[in-house]
Structure 1
Amino acid sequence: MAPVLQEPVSLLLLPALQLPSTPASLKSSYRSTFEALLPKLIQPNTQTTSRLDVAIVLSPSYPVTPSISRTAIFPLIQTLLAQTYSLICSVGALTKVDLDFPGGLDALSGPIVDIQTFTSASRPYQTIYSVEGETAEAHLMSVITALQSRQGVIAPPVQRLPCGPAILHPGSTVSPYADDGPVEVHKSVAVGGTFDHLHIGHKLLLTATVLLAEPSAASSRDKTPRHITIGITGDALLVNKKYGSVVESWSTRQGRAAEFVESILVFHRDGDSIKKTEYINEPGPNGKVVRVTYGDDISINYTEIVDPFGPTITDENITALVISGETRAGGKAVNDRRKEKGWKELEVFEVDVLDAGVGLDESEMDNKQEKQSFESKISSTEIRRRLHEAQTNASE
């Protein structure tokens, strides 16, 4: 499928709820926000995909400091991302807004950056959306001030959206992050998948992988760059996929994955000035690689994989693997192979599966059409089915 035209991006500033919080709290607070916003962003009767950046502004209850490793806070932040994406999916199902489909919406959120870094990138925001309330207003003013401090930058117009009350759960003693002893810092992290017709489930998996790779602290002597390996299934392994005529080529899937990763990882006034791309095509497994580096801190290998293991059993330097709950067995198989080679096992980090229950009520969950609509938004097969039908109808 040819790349879809995309309008300038919109930004939603969303204050993270105070910990401890629950999916019910998120739904109570922000379901009405997304119900008001998502339909507003769609351009009817066009093939143009609108993009929404969701910037979740962390509250002081989130223990995010340079002294706390990404490994320690990974469970907390990936849960926040998974629940937010689940809520967006749920509201998309209710409001009949397509996600990651021509004429629909491309919604994304990214890993941790401070406001000054976030606003340093030249993002063409058409509108900034915020929610009502004192905390949200303070966040909005911080972002506007940071934007206006850049020479020649005029902050885009602002629109405020409704939100509901959070459901409070006082008295919880649950630790907000993994503090059960020393944790390993991971500089080389891997993930794998087909990434066909990149959708919101893929975005969560890629975002979690980027999150886990530990950046070098400004004060640290260790300046080892972050290295992220993204294994992408080769074309030969996808020939029997359902609706195979609209399966994207490896190059297209790689390009879209790279575009998404760059959008959540690189915050620089002139990203192209620090970017270098190498195309490697060597004989043997994992020999086809598109390597993208950004300055001296980030290196990403987009590797064609031709077996279930990919670079995890050919690159001993990888120390962590990010998986979804659906691919848990694959993580075990990788470590079994590494043990056979006498290598250290990878630490495996599991990302939550998107859950319709975060945004839908029980009665809505019982509605077969709405449940199927949610599931279709995280299914490459369903996206291919719709594209195949559109092609068939167009040719008749």
Structure 2
Amino acid sequence: MAPVHQETISLLLLPALALPSTTASLISAYKRTLETLLPRLAQPKSQAIARLDIAIVLSPSYPVSPNIPRSAVFPSVQRLLSETYSLICAVAADNKVELDFPGGLDVRIFLLESRVDQLPRGVRGKQALSGPIVDIQTFGLAARPYTTIYSVEGETGEQNLRSLITAWQSEKNRSAPPVHRLPSGPAIIQPSSSQTSVHEDGPVTTHQSVAVGGTFDHLHIGHKLLLTATVLAAEPSGFSSHTETPRLITVGITGDALLVNKKYAAVVEPWSLRQQRTAEFIDSILAFHPDVPSITKTEHIDQPGPNGKVVRVTYGNDIIVNYTQISDPFGPTITDEGISALVISRETRAGGKAVNDKRKERGWKELEIFEVDVLDARAAMAEEEGEGQEKQESFESKISSTEIRRRLSEMRASTTGQ
């Protein structure tokens, strides 16, 4: 029973808190908004999955992108992503809202830069391939087909909303979607204009070729966080002095042969479907062009040898994304010397070390490892005596391919009478 996505897509604008901020502050700021919106959008009796894009508008405490390398802002941005996704899982669990499952929601997060006047003139409104961080003018010009825009009450929320509507309506005869305002927590306030350093002093290496690997079966929020962090770690080309080299993003996707012993293997998605859904997600947080298909070329490559099966998606002259079928734990990281960075979750730290050990054996330069936080139930969920274990299990069901397969398997059995 394959989930069906609705044609309608909603957008939520959320102001980022000023740095440094705590997890408690983020929960205070966003929880009420999410508790109001997520149940409203979910349709429990439907087989469809409604899509919600969340655009977090960076506060003045973040350096202006693209004025500094992406690798320099990686720690603070990935933390923002992981804590927000963790809170979404917690709110969904508390309110019995499905995520990435029939009747529920497909939530995706990217970042907006609203300080357009601080960007180089050649960049303003021209960051169509700079995701997952895009300036608000480019985003408005892209005019994605949202049916509704949700914003939060308060001065900062209104300011961000005005900026987006102005950009959206900059093209003649174009009206913005209807807007609904949602309550927010007390922590969302207009931050100071002074900037806070988000990285340690010293040289920062930029990376044009970044890799990630996984099964990406029944794509869920844990996968989305990992993929978004991978796109973030790869330096955009053409916007600054950092690089003019196209971004190369390599996504290793485990081949079907390695998954036959997985639990509930009967409902494991085939490689082709996992690749398509992974590519569709990356496209949604990477490309902000008014007509993305017009700048996109897809090639299917099938060569003998390891890592020879690739679906290559090229965006203009700026980005290449290779979706590579892998048949071992290492994938292209030990067959492509040009890859310079690897994105992993904290749970797969040992795998990153194993990759670098193999590269050292070949006399290759080790990969820089970018580590993504594990989605954290304890940090995101309010402790309520007597409900801790149940809440933990409900949270984990939102970020587990195995749990999604188990439930789909049970649904299939109930409909067939087996």
Task: Bin the TM-score by the shorter chain.
Answer: over 0.9
Q: Aligned partners of 1:167, 1:272: CA distance in 2, in Å?
A: 37
The amino acid of 2:316's aligned partner reads G
Q: Aligned partners of 1:9, 1:71: CA distance in 2, in Å?
A: 31
What is aligned with 1:380?
401
What is aligned with 2:298?
277
What is aligned with 1:297?
318
Shift of 1:192: 0.1
TM-score computed with the length of structure 1 as normaliser: 0.96
Question: Which 5+ residue runs of structure 2 have no aligned equivalent?
Answer: 111-131
Do the aligned residues in 2 keep the contact of 1:64 with 1:73 (CA within 8 Å)? Answer: no
Structure 2 counterpart of 1:347, from 368, 371, 376: 368
Distance 1:365 1:138, change over 3 A: farther
The amino acid of 2:109's aligned partner reads S
1:168-207 map, 5 Å: 176-207=197-228
Q: Aligned partners of 1:87, 1:118: CA distance in 2, in Å?
A: 25
Q: Aligned partners of 1:152, 1:175: CA distance in 2, in Å?
A: 40
- Residue correspondences, number: 392
Secondary structure in 2 matching 1:12:
strand
The amino acid of 1:162's aligned partner reads P
Do the aligned residues in 2 keep the contact of 1:27 with 1:358 (CA within 8 Å)? Answer: no
Q: Aligned partners of 1:319, 1:126: CA distance in 2, in Å?
A: 40
Shift of 1:30: 1.1
The amino acid of 2:12's aligned partner reads L
Secondary structure in 2 matching 1:127:
strand
Distance 1:175 1:60, change over 3 A: closer
What is aligned with 2:27?
27
Shift of 1:63: 1.4
Do the aligned residues in 2 keep the contact of 1:8 with 1:51 (CA within 8 Å)? Answer: yes
Do the aligned residues in 1 keep the contact of 2:70 with 2:232 (CA within 8 Å)? Answer: yes
What is aligned with 1:15?
15
Q: Aligned partners of 2:349, 2:16: CA distance in 1, in Å?
A: 29
Secondary structure in 1 matching 2:300:
strand
Distance 1:363 1:2, change over 3 A: closer
Most deviating of 271-280 and 179-188: 179-188
Q: Deviations over 1:273-311 (max 9, x none)?
A: 100000000000000000000000000000000000000
1:1-396 map, 5 Å: 1-2=1-2, 4-110=4-110, 111-166=132-187, 176-220=197-241, 222-363=243-384, 366-396=387-417
The amino acid of 1:303's aligned partner reads T
Distance 1:3 1:295, change over 3 A: farther
After TM superposition, the runs of 4+ consecutive aligned structure 1 residues lying more than 6 A away are none
Distance 1:175 1:58, change over 3 A: closer
Secondary structure in 2 matching 1:390:
helix
Distance 1:165 1:299, change over 3 A: same
Q: Aligned partners of 2:14, 2:5: CA distance in 1, in Å?
A: 26
Secondary structure in 1 matching 2:314:
strand
The amino acid of 2:320's aligned partner reads S
Do the aligned residues in 1 keep the contact of 2:141 with 2:170 (CA within 8 Å)? Answer: no
Shift of 1:44: 3.5
Q: Aligned partners of 2:85, 2:379: CA distance in 1, in Å?
A: 9
Do the aligned residues in 2 keep the contact of 1:190 with 1:322 (CA within 8 Å)? Answer: yes
Q: Aligned partners of 1:355, 1:219: CA distance in 2, in Å?
A: 35
The amino acid of 1:43's aligned partner reads Q
Q: Aligned partners of 2:285, 2:342: CA distance in 1, in Å?
A: 19
The amino acid of 1:369's aligned partner reads E
- Identity, % of aligned pairs? 69
Q: Aligned partners of 2:218, 2:385: CA distance in 1, in Å?
A: 27
The amino acid of 2:340's aligned partner reads T
Secondary structure in 1 matching 2:210:
strand
Q: Aligned partners of 1:327, 1:219: CA distance in 2, in Å?
A: 33
Q: Aligned partners of 1:353, 1:17: CA distance in 2, in Å?
A: 21
Shift of 1:149: 1.1
The amino acid of 2:77's aligned partner reads I
RMSD between superposed Cα atoms in Å: 1.7
Do the aligned residues in 2 keep the contact of 1:20 with 1:176 (CA within 8 Å)? Answer: no
Distance 1:199 1:314, change over 3 A: same
Distance 1:365 1:93, change over 3 A: farther
Q: Aligned partners of 2:137, 2:188: CA distance in 1, in Å?
A: 31
Distance 1:144 1:67, change over 3 A: closer
The amino acid of 2:263's aligned partner reads K
Q: Deviations over 1:37-79 (max 9, x none)?
A: 0000012311111110000000000113333111111001000
Q: Aligned partners of 2:385, 2:237: CA distance in 1, in Å?
A: 45
Most deviating of 222-231 and 329-338: 222-231
Q: Aligned partners of 1:15, 1:354: CA distance in 2, in Å?
A: 21
The amino acid of 2:216's aligned partner reads F
Do the aligned residues in 2 keep the contact of 1:201 with 1:378 (CA within 8 Å)? Answer: yes
Q: Deviations over 1:209-236 (max 9, x none)?
A: 0011101243549421000000000000
Secondary structure in 1 matching 2:205:
coil
What is aligned with 2:127?
none
The amino acid of 2:202's aligned partner reads G
Q: Aligned partners of 1:221, 1:99: CA distance in 2, in Å?
A: 38
